[in-house]
Amino acid sequence: MILNIPADSHFSIHNLPYGIFSTQERDARPGVAIGEYIIDLKALAAKGVFDFDTSVFDSSVLNDFIALGKEVTNPVREELQKWLRDPQSVLAQNQDEILVPQKEAQMHLPLHIGDYTDFYSSIEHATNVGKMFRDPENALLPNWKHIPVGYHGRASSIVVSGTPVRRPMGQVLPKDAKAPVFQASSRLDFELEMAFVTGKPNELGTSITTDAAEDHIFGMMLFNDWSARDIQKWEYVPLGPFLAKNFASSVSPWVVTLEALDPFRVDGPVQDPAVLPYLEYSGKKNYDIQLEVSIAPSGSLPKTVCRSNYQYMYWNMAQQLAHHTVNGCNIQVGDLLASGTISGKTEDSFGSMLELAWSGTKPIDMPDGSTRTFIQDGDVVSMTGWAQKGDIRVGFGEVSAEILPANSSF
């Protein structure tokens, strides 16, 4: 290796995720994370090492590069791995031009996200919510084990990690009230999720099978689906989430390729009853990715409030994409499809404050002596995730955001 990569780095040579960065001297452009550095793909391409149209590296989003297809993007990653191991490589001989310290870079939203869909695919999360708000003995709705339930969200309000999020205003029905009031949400929540990025479109009127799904999935990111629970409770019947969700969602800046995650494939939960034929799949489609969420009150140390794992998902990505397109819906390069809240079976693995504090009945102690049932102004919520198998470590970095007070000048 031409670089010394710490053993606990999220960005090992086995990973090499793609993102968009800029510095004072370099405009926003594609890069690849390696250890504490970023490989400037535009600067590297200027050395004439690639045999495709490298004008894609002039773009401030990854869409054009991803659209070249895995027959191009996968070899780029493989070549980078080879060059990082070779002290005589073009990368090794031009480190000052091509390698940028991450601490000197600003990260940007890596994609133009044309469309965004959020699923509801953790059986533990769906069961917990059903117990709180419906009949505990019949927590899951009748359709839940038959289809990957989802809704179309708002792509324009997805922001990159580090972007502050303002507490939303909206209609809320106070307890025992007969009419709603307009106010700032007092039940602001995070949702621990992951999202996958589509890298190959399908034509309108055609569908993608579970066998073909991975050809259409470029990679994955961490995703925080911010939720205003009090607004959501009032509005979600009959058409589901709207203003409680569309004010902001936060994503991590690095897109980890599906190929980098191959070593971490695992079997998913047994699906009972049996799914319809178009949702049947073969092979290991779940991934063992460890996930954590922390909350840092303003001026205080963070506290880890959740430890979960992506392998808990009842519905996998191949099934989600197959269901999304079975009616002929067309996806585009750069679309984002989120998993839904990722909760496990134990209380410390629940992926939202709604569950962790059980709808406000079990406050969580913070390092500064305060407690939390939901997220307060000034709190910084951070999520991280990584996979480890032997010496192979692949991480996603972090997605974090500070909550700002509501804009109440209405």
Ligand-binding annotation for 193, yes or no, is: yes
Which residue in the list 125, 216, 323, 324 is annotated as catalytic?
125
* 245 labeled part of a ligand binding site: yes
Judge residue 116's burial from the number of C-beta atoms within 10 Å of its C-beta, 0-12 exposed, 13-18 middle, 19 or more buried: buried
| 3-class DSSP assignment, residue 267 | coil
Is residue 8 part of an annotated ligand binding site?
A: no
Rounded CA gap, 354 and 233, in Å? 12
| Rounded Cα distance, 245 and 223, in Å | 13
- Residue 47 known to bind ligand: no
Asked if 396 contacts 11 with a C-beta cutoff of 8 angstroms, the reply is no
236 is in an annotated binding site: yes
Cβ contact 272:146 at 8 Å: no
Is 27 annotated among the ligand-binding residues?
no
Query: Would you say 232 is a known binding-site residue?
Result: yes
What number of CA atoms fall less than 13 Å from residue 373's CA on the CB side?
Answer: 10
- As a whole number of angstroms, the distance between CA 97 and CA 360 comes to 53
Q: Give the whole-angstrom CA distance, residue 274 versus residue 399.
A: 36
- How deeply is 253 buried, as exposed, middle or buried, from its count of CB atoms within 10 A (0-12, 13-18, 19+)? buried
Residue with tokens 């980078």: 80
- Whether the CB-CB separation of 246 and 154 falls below 8 Å is answered with yes
**278 known member of a binding site:** no
Question: Is 249 flagged in the annotation as binding?
Answer: yes
**Closest to 249 measured CA to CA, from 192, 291, 315, 296:** 192
What's the half-sphere exposure (Cβ side, CA atoms, 13 Å) at 190?
33
Please indicate whether residue 14 is annotated as part of the active site: no
Residue 18 annotated as part of some ligand binding site: no
Residue 22 marked in a binding site: no
> Is the Cα torsion angle 93, 98, 101, 104 positive or negative in sign?
positive
Q: Tokens in use for 20?
A: 């968009």
DSSP letters spanning 352-407? BHHHHTTTTTS-EE-TTS-EESS--TT-EEEEEEEEEETTEEEEEEEEEEEEEPP-
Helix (H) or strand (E) holding 57: none
Long-range contacts formed by 50-57: CB under 8 A, 24+ apart:
50/76, 56/30, 57/29, 57/30
- For 301, the token pair is 């140390």
Annotated binding site: 118, 120, 134, 191, 193, 225, 232, 236, 245, 249, 341
Per the annotation, where are the binding residues for Ca(2+)? Answer: 118, 191, 193, 225
Catalytic residues: 125
Residue list, annotated binding site for Mg(2+):
225, 245, 249
Q: Which residues are annotated as a binding site for substrate?
A: 120, 134, 232, 236, 341
